[in-house]
Structure 1
Amino acid sequence: MNRAGSRGWLGALPLLAFFALVFGVPAVALVAGAFTADGRPSLSNMSQSLQGGYLTAMISSVQLSGVVALVGAVLGTFLAYAIVTSRFALLREAVLTASGVLANFGGVPLAFFWIATLGNSGVISGLMGLPSGSLYTFWGLVVVYLYFAVPLMVLAMAPALDGLRPQWREAAANNGATTWHYWRFVALPVLAPAMLGGVVLLFGSAFSAYATANAMVGSVVPLVTLKIAAALTGDVLIGYENIALALSLDMIVVAGLVMAIYLPLQKRSSRWLH
């Protein structure tokens, strides 16, 4: 290794040490705890994490994340196309700025916003006599998650839609292609990696959410993040900390699969942004 390369590694050592301390040590502790029972190596925690109520919670989390990802991707893509093709630059900047804020708006404040609006004693539900019980169900949680999923999809799709060149549409029209042919054979193949990447990103975001669901539905809707919190805090069962670590490892595996899909798609779609 040449001297410049050696200096580069030396400069990166503090960052590598920081990542090893902040991420490496907890990861090792999590894996060790997940495969330990009664002080001995065991697969019982991992086995229990995929049975009974824990498996139900995992399936429910995957279903919730899948619905949020698909619906959010469709709505976000149409909204992104509308603002990208808008003639009003101020409107575009306003929507993109708002999307950047709303995409990171979650947790207890988001739950309070919806409960105060459409909850049992919400402003709108109280004034208009709307039913409020559905807010605390699976589909109510989907609607709430879409509040940050749609803006996140807008941020993911806007650069990809900007990458569509007007010359491509003109060339397609000059060769006799209809609007459908243009979108089917030119635009959609270009946008597909970004769209699929956005779906994966929305899935991971909804899959890992905890505070909003905990504040809204509690144990009404079984979710793996809520099961982990209950096992760690001992609110329901005592001595199930290692099962919580096993559930966390299950989530890491799912998140790893999500990122394994997302990163290649994001890399491929970035070619069209230049």
Structure 2
Amino acid sequence: MDTAPAARTKRRRRSLGWVAVVPLLAFVAVAFGLPALAMLDGAFTAKDPATGATSYTLDNLTTSLKGAYLTALLGSVKLSAVSAALGTLVGLPLAQAVVSSRFRALREAVLTASGVLANFGGVPLAFAFVATLGNAGVLTRHFGLTDKGWDLYSFWGLVIVYLYFLIPLMVLTVTPALDGLRVQWREAAQNNGATGVQYWRFVALPVLLPTLLGGFVLLFGSAFAAYATAAAMVGSSIPLVTLQIADAISGNVLVGQENVALALSLDMVLVAGLVMAVYLPLQRRSARWLA
């Protein structure tokens, strides 16, 4: 039997598939590749203010890992880690309540609202919280929260604001994994005398662990990259790397720190790269378990 025509047909299909991908690759190269190259070039470039000559150096990266810049980077990591951990802990039971609900309309409503709220951020979100829980907010005055020590413009206040869009994101992330838990697993556990707590401890949570860790990483990345909400709410009162980048570019603190801002951006890219290096294997493992 001659297999040559079939082989040629297969190669032709592969060639056409690559042709179809070319526009996407071109878009990625222009939208992401060129800015990445410009950021790399600027992060390692220094300009002599006297002569205007440029040279490659590590001074920008060294500066970005010292003093206030390092404090801001660590502050962003801390804020993102705490927000992501709380979002994961709260989002899992909420998603389970939605999945186990008998009301299909409730499930669709919650998932639709989560899709909207997960993308609701920036200045509108900051304004909503300031008007509600700020120093002169409606609930703050009504319940006398200021006298009880409440301060929206603090680390924990910012965490609460971030949870507004991180918890819905976690619900969207973990719901497909909860749907993938098979009824036969629970029945088998019950037939062997396991309680509900034992089922979750020894069966469900080990299966869901890659998804939960992946969701935590996704929430961490989302909080780490957030800028407009924090900028509108706290300004520079809380050290965050995104706010430091904005200050360095605009010259609010020191003039001519644009390349340091690019070095800070490179630091963020490296942190995001580490996050994705953890996230992708976890997603593959979770998909293999729940397939």
TM-score (norm 2): 0.91
CA displacement, residues 101-132 of structure 1 (integer Å, 9 cap, x when unaligned): 10000000000000010112212212332218
Q: Given the alignment of the two structures, is residue 190 of structure 1 paired with residue 173 of structure 2, yes or no? A: no
Q: Give the counterpart of 2:114 among 75, 84, 99.
A: 99
The equivalent of 2:21 in structure 1 is 12
Partner of 1:162 in structure 2?
179
The equivalent residue for 1:254 is: 271
1:60 is displaced (CA, Å) by 0.5
Find the partner of 1:153 among 170, 190, 201: 170
Alpha-carbon deviations, 1:43-68, whole Å to 9, x = none? Answer: 00000000000000011100000000
CA distance in 2, matches of 1:224, 1:96: 32
| Correspondence 1:215-226 to 2 at 5 A | 215-226=232-243
2:218 corresponds, among 187, 201, 213, to 201
The answer to which of 1-10 and 130-139 deviates more is 1-10
Is 1:264 matched with 2:281? yes
- Distance in 1 (alpha carbons) for counterparts of 2:139 and 2:195: 46
* Counterpart among 39, 43, 68 of residue 30 in structure 1: 39
SS of structure 2 residue aligned to 1:40: strand
1:64-116: CA deviation from partner (whole Å, max 9, x where unpaired):
00000101100000111111111222111111111111000000000000001
Query: In the TM superposition, what whole-angstrom CA distance separates every residue of 1:203-238 from its partner, at most 9, and x where no partner exists?
Result: 000000000000000000000000001111122221
Matches within 5 A, 1:102-181: 102-131=117-146, 134-181=151-198
Matched pairs, number: 274
Kept in 1: contact 2:135–2:151 (CA 8 A): no
Partner of 1:85: 100
Identical aligned residues as a percent:
66
Matches of 1:101 and 1:273 in 2, distance apart?
Answer: 26
Structure 2: which amino acid aligns with 1:15?
A: L
Identify the residue that residue 4 of structure 2 maps to in structure 1.
none
Any conservation in 2 of the 1:37–1:45 contact (CA below 8 Å)? Answer: yes
Whole-Å Cα distance in 2 between the matches of residues 14 and 90 of structure 1?
40
TM-score (ref. length: structure 1) = 0.96
- 1:73 is paired with a residue whose SS is helix
Work out which of the two has the higher radius of gyration on C-alpha atoms and give 1 or 2.
2
Q: Which amino acid aligns with 1:167?
A: Q
Deviations 1:28-49 (A, max 9, x none): 0100110111211100000000
Q: Whole-Å Cα distance in 2 between the matches of residues 166 and 81 of structure 1?
A: 14
Provide the aligned C-alpha RMSD in A: 1.4
Offset of 1:4 from its aligned partner?
A: 2.5
Contact 1:119–1:125 (CA under 8 A) maintained in structure 2:
yes
In structure 2, list runs of 5 or more residues that go unmatched. Answer: 1-7, 48-53
